[in-house]
Amino acid sequence: MSRTHDTFRRSGLAIAALFALLGFQYATWASRLPALKTRLGASDAEVGLLLTVCGIGAAASFPLVAALMKRLGSRRLAELSALCLSLLPLAIGLAPNYPTALAITCCDGIAVACLDVAMNAQGAVLESAYQRTVMARLHATFSGGALAGALLAAAVNAVTADLLAHFAIAAALLLALLGFAHTGLLRDATTHVDPEPPDSPATLTPSQAKPPRRPLVPPVAFLWMGAAMAFGTIVEGAMNDWSALYLKNVAKAPAELTPMGIAGFSVTMVLARLMADRWRTLRGDRTLVTLGSATAGGGLALAVLIRGTPPALLGFACVGLGIAAVTPCIYKAAADRGPDSLAIVAAMGTVGLLAGPGIIGLIASASGLAWAMATVAAAAIIVSLCATRIPWPSTPSPALPPSPKPESAPESAPAPVAPSPSETPTHPVAATPAASTPTP
């Protein structure tokens, strides 16, 4: 195994650990909401408020996240926010009353926003440094972490109802994930190699290094990214929240098949994310997001028009297949524009997750669930239209060999000052700093 492949794999696994940590952490305490409700003596509405405050904290914290990204960088911010998230379930379990639990979940939302932005910035640095597509697979590990958190909750609850025992076990596992991630996280890139090398590659000295050049992008580009992210998360949330009811009330599916809507959507989404990085390399982010979201919208629209259980299940599977790459690709495009853009886009995604279920519910109440699902299909088509206006980053060519020594080195490795000519990549790569000041 080459040294390049070894360091790429180590950094990729470290960043994947952050994605798994975030999914595991959320599933850990969210899966124990019934026990928390009993312990705090909360009503159903107050439990709903706990979840809402967590989302509001995440959505409203983007100015703070952007400032912390500039001051700390994605690596340090990821480690600090992951440390906080590892301990917050214990804090929620120890909360003496409902107002304290409310404040803790708001802090949890802020920490989630910090880690969300920082770990996606790390993924963008990894792609830029090694010229390999990995973002979709990183997002797939979030789902794996959430599944592991839910399974642990079920296993512990089968043995003991002690909430603190469960949260203590979870905290130990989360801290272990953080310790593993710490060994391979990347520094934010600070130098840039000219993408058009001379005929005979030569070592660049620090005085020759130039800051990264990005084309001036008007602020409206951020709005296209944010809109695509918001509508994309509305589509994802609608599948989880409304597919079972649609199968029961509109498609008239038997009771044993109603959970299959979520299952079909989830399975195709995970499988598509595992394959999406290869598709990104072959076709590019713009093509993948445009065609994928159009496939999701078209498949769901046909399912609504035809009605029936088989068309509905097929339509939900099309949504999972088509919408899977939207979030990873938009995060990469936003990270290449800097921390402000990345924080805004992440906040818009949270807004979509928060507002989507309510909007779909209002439409279902006013016009019926079939029209609500048609609205979801329209949201997917809007994502496709927005994708045509987003300034997408260049996608690594499959013929381009990776750089043997990335510009963003793990913290444990000393930063090279003047690598030897043998270490100079044949095709120098410009690593885009995810934590640098964005272009106005």
Which structural domains are found in the chain, ordered by start?
A: 3-182 (1.20.1250.20), 220-387 (1.20.1250.20)
Percent of the chain with pLDDT over 70: 81
| Mean pLDDT estimate for the chain | 80
- Distance of alpha carbon 203 from alpha carbon 36, whole angstroms: 59
pLDDT digits (tens, 9 = 90+) for 67-126: 999 899 999 999 999 999 999 999 998 999 999 999 999 999 999 999 999 999 999 899
pTM for the full model? 0.74
- To the nearest 10°, report the CA torsion of 93, 48, 264, 230: -110
Distances in Å between the Cα of 359 and the Cα atoms of 9, 59, 148, 340, 348 are 42, 17, 30, 28, 15
* Span 343-399, pLDDT tens digits: 888 888 888 887 787 788 888 888 888 999 999 999 999 999 999 999 887 765 443
> SS3 for the chain, per residue?
CCHHHHHHHHHHHHHHHHHHHHHHHHHHHHCCHHHHHHHHCCCHHHHHHHHHHHHHHHHHCHHHHHHHHHHHHHHHHHHHHHHHHHHHHHHHHHCCCHHHHHHHHHHHHHHHHHHHHHHHHHHHHHHHHHCCCCHHHHHHHHHHHHHHHHHHHHHHHHHCCCHHHHHHHHHHHHHHHHHHHHCCCECCCCCCCCCCCCCCCCCCCCCCCCCCCCCCCCCHHHHHHHHHHHHHHHHHHHHHHHHHHHHHHCCCCCHHHCCHHHHHHHHHHHHHHHHHHHHHHHHCHHHHHHHHHHHHHHHHHHHHHHCCHHHHHHHHHHHHHHHCCHHHHHHHHHHCCCHHHHHHHHHHHHHHHHHHHHHHHHHHHHHCHHHHHHHHHHHHHHHHHHHCCCCCCCCCCCCCCCCCCCCCCECCCCCCCCCCHHHCCCCCCCCCCCCCCCCC
The band of 406, judged by pLDDT with boundaries at 50, 70 and 90, is very low
Q: Which residue has the higher pLDDT, 298 or 222?
A: 298
Is the pLDDT at 417 greater than 60? The verdict is: no
Distance (Å, rounded) from C-alpha 92 to C-alpha 71? 29
Lowest mean pLDDT among 143-157, 172-186, 309-323: 143-157
- Residue where the block lists tokens 């050049």: 213
Given a cut of 90, is residue 180 above it in pLDDT?
A: yes
Asked if the model's pLDDT at residue 7 lies above 70, the reply is yes
- Asked if the model's pLDDT at residue 435 lies above 50, the reply is no
The predicted pLDDT at position 2 comes to 61
Q: Which residue's structure tokens are 């989507």?
A: 356
Asked if pLDDT for residue 131 goes beyond 80, the answer is: yes
> Between these two residues, 200 and 62, which has the higher pLDDT value?
62
pLDDT greater than 60 at residue 209: no
Written as six digits, the tokens of 408 are 């963003």
Contact between residue 179 and residue 14 where contact means Cβ atoms under 8 Å apart:
no
Q: What is the dihedral of CA 132, 135, 136, 140, to 10 degrees?
A: 120
Q: What span, in angstroms and rounded, lies between the C-alpha atoms of 8 and 333? A: 21
* 337: phi then psi, degrees, rounded to nearest 5: -95, -10
**Cβ contact 273:324 at 8 Å:** yes
How far is Cα 1 from Cα 278, in angstroms, rounded to an integer? 21
402: left (phi over 0), alpha (psi -120 to 50) or beta: beta
